[in-house]
Amino acid sequence: MHFFLASTALLALLKPHRASAASVDFIKTVTLDIANHDLAPDGFQRSTIVANGQYPGPAITAFKGQKLLVTVNNKLTDSSMRRSTTVSFDGIFQTTENAYNEGSAFVTTCPIAPGASYTYEVPLGGQTGTYWYHSELSVQYVDGLRGALIIYDPFDPHRNLYDVDDLSTLLQLGDWWQIPSVTLLTGYEGTGIVPVSDSGTVNGIGRYQGGPAVPFAVTNVVSGKRYRLRIINQSARNVFTVSIDNHPLTIIEADGVSTVPHTVDIIEMLAGQRYSVVINANQPVANYWINAPFVGGLPSRNLHQNATLSRSILRYKGAPIAEPTTPWTLGPVNGTVLVEADLAPLVNTVPPPVDITISLDLQVVAGKAIWNVNNISYLPPKVPTLNQVLAGASNSADFDPTENTFVLPAHKTIQIEFPPTEDDDAHPFHLHGSNFWLIKSMSSPNQNTVNPIRRDVAGVGGSGTIVRFRTDNPGPWMFHCHIFWHKQAGLATVMLSSPADIRQNANPSAAWKELCPTYDALPAELQ
């Protein structure tokens, strides 16, 4: 497919010299046909919603500084699932001028109607690293619409640490349900119990208890080479714990930010988080387990669930085409576990002093599918936030209280504080439009205002979490839980920076302006 790069060509382009960087076209076009396909990622066949017929969707690759033109053709027809759609590019900082292409349903855009197409403009600017795309409409990406987005840096400062970095070194983790998301959501709304997945998948392949022995995904390596593995938790709920038997993991990136190399054996990943790790293929030629057990609700609520089945294989060239002979485990018993607070940015930017402090208190309504932020359960407005701003909305009073919109001045430093909770459950809060300094990780009791990591997804809960960000990119940016069941239940806010700057600088296209009238005219069953 035209948006894949062959491994050899990619490695050649990655050599740090200006000629290769200059040879990359500024604009790259990508086509995603969103349609229903019968697939069986874990051996159970069901109708899905996927891009270009596959789960996960095709990986989109680009280079630093390029602009993506991503055409989404909505070909959905299955009435058991949502038939409109949107696509969001997680972690990409759409600019104020381009906020209308950001893809957040009912915040920056209306969904794309069935039978319609829309082309998202995605300028990548100076961003590099590991990202992903997924449906941002309701819980639709549960049905399969998710895939990787990788931005390569020809001048990567970590380039001397690895030999191979291509599509063969992606590890895409996902939770998988055998029942369509609309049915699951109805059950959640009726009981207040978040659906428990049937399985976990690694690169689109998984197994469930009592199901067929689907061949595991394989990552091939050559003895003596070093590999940059880009690991993405594309789940809608599950927390994955990643390790590779006999192979330490040296972290060099978190959510698109290069880190000081930090070696561990085990990484816990919340929904939406991404890490790049380097592994050295210096072990005896054999097959090794890549362990990716997960947690996400009580297994007793879904007897298909067996966390040890969530895994794949690291296969050395010359090893038999077979599963490893070593035991299936949840990972090393005494291995070093990543402590998020130990991560440090490779290039440090000291967090500026705080101008505005906001406290966000999260509460669930017992027995109901309702989550509140400061006693408000977010409800998507009929008219998207951006449309309201362009029509003149400027103050909090201009928005319905259920939109939970915080109006912020431009070019200020905002600190958001999540108070401690009685349990250690982590809500992975994700910020659109920019990333944040993680002043206090829930993994540590300490605050760090000297060299905290910057990322765009962090766990909220336990001993409390503090993040800090700048409003230098005015726009209506969601800040929400990336457990999409919780987001759908109201665990979301909108951080709206400088409506006046948005009106002055945003210039939506005619195609974008047609999205809402077309969607609003649809009968409910097609929305």
Q: Domains in the chain: how many in total?
A: 3
Arithmetic mean of pLDDT, 505-527: 97
Q: What is the pLDDT of residues 38-61, one digit of tens each?
A: 999 999 999 999 999 999 999 999
What value does the mean pLDDT of the chain take? Answer: 94
Q: Are residues 440 and 516 in the same domain?
A: yes
Does residue 163 fall inside a structural domain?
no
Does residue 351 fall inside a structural domain?
no
Q: Is pLDDT at 15 greater than 50 in this prediction? A: no
The confidence score (pLDDT) of residue 421 equals 83
Of all residues in the chain, the percent with pLDDT exceeding 70 is 95
The confidence score (pLDDT) of residue 10 equals 37
The confidence score (pLDDT) of residue 16 equals 37
Task: Tell me the two tokens of residue 368.
Answer: 């109901």
Cβ-Cβ contacts under 8 Å for 370 (sequence gap 6 or more): 192, 364, 377, 489, 490
In the listed set 342, 373, 401, which residue is the last one of a domain according to the structure? Answer: 342
Q: Are residues 306 and 329 in the same domain?
A: yes
In the listed set 285, 318, 342, which residue is the last one of a domain according to the structure? Answer: 342
Please state which of the ranges 14-28, 174-188, 241-255 shows the lowest mean pLDDT: 14-28
The confidence score (pLDDT) of residue 23 equals 62
Other residues' Cβ atoms within 10 Å of the Cβ of residue 9: 10
pTM: 0.95
Does residue 165 fall inside a structural domain?
no
Q: Are residues 264 and 295 in the same domain?
A: yes
Kindly report the CATH number assigned to the domain that includes residue 318. Answer: 2.60.40.420
Q: What is the pLDDT of residues 371-396, one digit of tens each?
A: 999 999 999 999 999 999 999 999 99
The confidence score (pLDDT) of residue 48 equals 98
Q: Are residues 187 and 326 in the same domain?
A: yes
Task: Tell me the two tokens of residue 134.
Answer: 């997924």
Task: Tell me the two tokens of residue 298.
Answer: 């009580």
Arithmetic mean of pLDDT, 497-505: 97
The confidence score (pLDDT) of residue 1 equals 31
Q: What is the pLDDT of residues 386-431, one digit of tens each?
A: 999 999 999 999 999 999 999 999 999 999 999 998 776 799 999 9
Rounded Cα–Cα distance for residues 492 and 511 (Å): 28
Arithmetic mean of pLDDT, 486-513: 97
Which residue reads 């050649």 in tokens?
12
Q: Are residues 300 and 374 in the same domain?
A: no
Q: Are residues 367 and 475 in the same domain?
A: yes
Which conformational region is residue 316 in: left (phi greater than 0), alpha (psi within -120 to 50 degrees), or beta?
Answer: beta
**Could you give the 3-state DSSP secondary structure of residue 390?**
helix
Does residue 2 fall inside a structural domain?
no
Does residue 231 fall inside a structural domain?
yes
The confidence score (pLDDT) of residue 425 equals 78
Are 208 and 511 spatial neighbours (Cβ–Cβ below 8 Å)?
no
Q: Are residues 266 and 324 in the same domain?
A: yes
Q: What is the pLDDT of residues 446-479, one digit of tens each?
A: 999 999 999 999 999 889 999 999 999 999 999 9
Bond prior to 56 in cis (omega within 30° of 0): yes
Q: Are residues 377 and 247 in the same domain?
A: no
Q: Is pLDDT at 12 greater than 50 in this prediction? A: no
Arithmetic mean of pLDDT, 174-198: 97
Does residue 69 fall inside a structural domain?
yes
403 DSSP 8-state letter: G
Q: Are residues 407 and 440 in the same domain?
A: yes
In the listed set 316, 342, 368, which residue is the last one of a domain according to the structure? Answer: 342
Q: Are residues 219 and 278 in the same domain?
A: yes
Give 147-194 as a 3 state SS string.
EEEEEECCCCCCHHHCCECCHHHEEEEEEECCCCHHHHHHHHHHHCCC
Q: What is the extent of the structural domain holding 472?
A: 356-524
Q: Are strands 67-74 and 117-123 parallel, antiparallel or unpaired?
A: antiparallel
Q: Are residues 280 and 414 in the same domain?
A: no
Q: Are residues 182 and 319 in the same domain?
A: yes
Q: What is the pLDDT of residues 225-248, one digit of tens each?
A: 999 999 999 999 999 999 999 999
Residue of 431, 429, 467 whose CA lies nearest to 93 = 431
Task: Tell me the two tokens of residue 181.
Answer: 């998301």
Are 279 and 227 spatial neighbours (Cβ–Cβ below 8 Å)?
yes
Does residue 31 fall inside a structural domain?
yes
Q: Is pLDDT at 20 greater than 50 in this prediction? A: no
- Sorting pLDDT into bands at 50, 70 and 90, what band is 9? very low
Q: What is the pLDDT of residues 276-310, one digit of tens each?
A: 999 999 999 999 999 999 999 999 999 999 999 99
Strand partners, 68: 28, 122
First to last CA, the chain: 30
Does residue 213 fall inside a structural domain?
yes
